[in-house]
């Protein structure tokens, strides 16, 4: 019996700490301390609001449109800024050729050279560096990590690198 007592004596503080923690945990689970009760606030004396003198206020008429003429006639940010023409014809651009037949198949990025690898629907492979033109008139403006940006006049288009997925087959 003495041997058992000597064996369990070092474990007694650990058992006491475990019992205390379990009792605190049970109290918290039962909601002890969940409700907060605030002390009552003393009533503040309400000062009467100062009343503004009731003067007759006449509404100001909005300025005429012609008074704003100087705003749209003077340059705002650039000295060569001109007012827009009332019926200016929109810029006439030829329709950009479609890029539906091109697929971005790869991007080679070295330290100083970036090359985009493209393939059209006929199977012809193209390799272009930044700033080069496609045969259909599109300019390769920028090569990113997984996409390229092509420009033709005001039209911009981005081609993403296609990554085919493996088919999902189950045995």
4 is a domain residue: no
Per-residue confidence in pLDDT tens, the chain, 171 aa = 688 888 888 899 999 999 999 999 999 888 887 777 778 877 776 666 666 666 767 888 888 888 888 777 776 677 776 666 665 555 555 666 778 888 899 999 888 889 999 998 888 998 999 999 988 889 999 999 899 999 988 889 999 987 777 777 766
- The DSSP secondary structure of the chain, one letter per residue, reads -HHHHHHHGGGHHHHHHHHHHHHHHHHHHTTTT-S--PPPPPPPPPPPPPPPP---PPPPPPPPGGGGHHHHHS-SS-TT--PPPTTPPPPP-PPPPP-TT-EEEEEEE-SS-EEEEEE-TTS-EEEEETT-B-TTS-EEEEE-SSEEEEEETTEEEEEEBP-PPPP----
Q: Structural domain tally of the chain?
A: 1
The answer to whether residue 123 sits within a structural domain is yes
Residue 58 domain-assigned (yes or no): no
Domain-embedded: residue 155: yes
pLDDT of residue 89: 54
Kindly state whether residue 21 falls inside one of the protein's structural domains: no
Q: Considering the domain boundaries, does residue 74 fall inside one? A: no
Answer whether residue 108 is part of any domain: yes
**CATH classification at residue 122:** 2.30.30.830
Decide if 37 is inside a domain. no
Per-residue pLDDT tens for 47-86? 666 666 667 678 888 888 888 887 777 766 777 766 666 6
Which structural domain range is residue 146 located in?
103-160
């Amino acid at each position: 019996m003495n041997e058992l007592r000597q064996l369990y004596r070092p474990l007694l503080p650990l058992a006491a700490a475990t019992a205390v923690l379990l009792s605190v945990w049970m109290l918290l689970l039962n909601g002890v301390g969940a409700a907060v009760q605030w002390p009552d606030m003393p009533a503040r004396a309400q000062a009467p609001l100062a009343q503004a003198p009731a003067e007759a206020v006449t509404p100001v008429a909005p300025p005429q449109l012609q008074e704003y003429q100087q705003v749209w006639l003077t340059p705002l940010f650039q000295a060569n800024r001109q007012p827009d023409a009332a019926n200016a014809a929109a810029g006439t651009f030829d329709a950009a050729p479609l890029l539906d037949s091109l697929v971005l198949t790869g991007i080679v990025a070295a330290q100083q050279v970036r090359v985009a690898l493209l393939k059209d629907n006929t199977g012809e492979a193209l390799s272009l560096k930044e700033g080069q033109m496609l045969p259909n008139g599109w300019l390769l403006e920028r090569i990113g990590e997984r996409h390229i940006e092509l420009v033709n006049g005001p039209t911009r288009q981005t081609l993403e690198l296609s990554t085919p997925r493996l088919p999902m087959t189950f045995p």
